[in-house]
Amino acid sequence: MSVYFEIVTPLNKKIRTTVSYWNYITRVKHPFMQGKEDIVKHTLSSPDEIRKSSFDESVYLFYKYSQRKYCVVVKIENNSGYIITTYPVDAIKEGELIWKK
C-alpha cells in the first residue's frame, strides 16, 4: 500500500494515510471530504486543539476552526499513526484537552 501523505503533528508524531484508505474515506465514509486533502493536512500540522478520546487512549481528535470546523481522528502508537476518519463538525467532542494553539 502506498502512502498518500504523511504529516508531522505538533505532538511530533507522523500521521499517514494510504491512497486506498483515503479513497475509502472520501467515497464511502464521508464523500463530502473529497478534494479536502489540504484541509486535513493543515488540521494535522497546525490544529487549533488536540483532544484524546474518552473511549480509546490511543485515539486523538485534531480540530481546526476556520470558516467551518473540521476534525481529523487518528490512532497513534509509539511515534506514528494513521487517519481513522475526518469530517466537518458542529461541536467539539468530549475528551481530554492535551494541546491547544
The 10 Å Cβ neighbour count of residue 37 is: 15
For 50-86, write each residue's pLDDT tens digit: 999 999 999 999 999 988 999 999 999 988 999 999 9
Distances (CA, A) of 68 to 7, 9, 65, 89, 92: 21, 20, 6, 8, 12
Q: Return the pLDDT at 47.
A: 98
| Better pLDDT: 93 or 6 | 6
Q: Please, are residues 49 and 99 in contact by the beta-carbon 8 Å criterion? A: yes
Domains of the chain: 3-95 (3.30.2310)
Per-residue pLDDT tens over the stretch 1-42: 799 999 999 999 999 999 999 999 999 999 999 999 999 999
